[in-house]
Amino acid sequence: MNYVMYRRVSTTEQGSSGLGLAAQQHSIESFLDATDASVVGDYTDIQSGKKDSRENLQKALRSCRVNGATLVVSKLCRLSRSFAYSAKLLEGDVPVIITENPNASMLELRLKAAINQEERERISTRTIEALSAKKLQGDELGNKDVWKYATNQDTTNANAARVAKSADYKQHMLDIIQDQFGSDLPSLSTIANWLNESGYSTPRGSEFTRAAVQRVISSSEK
């Protein structure tokens, strides 16, 4: 059987560093190793899952049609985070296999697509609400250092405010993590990769590491 591999990450930084791509590649290859596979195409997009007009995804689909191949993807959200577009692809003329659950029925995949879109919308809404609340409080938005405080405050007040902002930030990120994974959290590396792929960054604008995720999760235990 012929297969075309497809992977996607959201940012240029993730694409150049390989962050997220390695895990997708491992999942795809593990599936293919257990089959009589002939790989006839291999495509990667570095673009948000919100955008469906991705050049290499379209190339992958054309390759499948030309070679009578099946499109193989690690997770449904790598195809799209839109329910409508995911359903269109799943019900289209190109067979699709999702390696995290290769035996999933069409009903299961459609339900997963609906959940993916709901998660995207919920996280987006909560992020907007959090940013709006900070703006109303007079905070500057963007990739600013949330640990900083206005320079015209005395040291005691500045320290107190920095601690408060740190706690607010950690609680916000913890809510996002729990929205995505629930109470049964995966490894710290898995969470860090997901946050980075989803476009989140630390207060200093850096990518999440295992240690950064640990600090967020540990804050809920205090």
> pTM of the predicted model, to two decimals?
0.56
In a domain, 161, yes or no: yes
In a domain, 121, yes or no: no
Comparing CA positions, the residue from 38, 36, 94 lying closest to residue 70 is 94
In a domain, 12, yes or no: yes
Q: CA-CA distance, 70 to 37, in Å (whole number)?
A: 10
Together in a domain, 81 and 19 = yes
Together in a domain, 93 and 154 = no
Number of structural domains in the chain: 2
In a domain, 78, yes or no: yes
In a domain, 67, yes or no: yes
Q: What is the pLDDT of residues 5-48, one digit of tens each?
A: 999 887 654 555 444 788 889 999 999 999 988 999 999 998 77
Q: What pLDDT score was predicted for residue 50?
A: 67
Domain that holds residue 37: 2-109
| Residue 144 or 191, more confident | 191
Comparing CA positions, the residue from 2, 126, 105, 7 lying closest to residue 56 is 7
In a domain, 56, yes or no: yes
Q: Residue 76: what residue type?
A: L
Q: What is the pLDDT of residues 133-184, one digit of tens each?
A: 555 555 544 444 443 433 444 444 444 444 445 667 787 788 778 767 766 6
Q: What is the pLDDT of residues 123-136, one digit of tens each?
A: 656 555 555 555 55
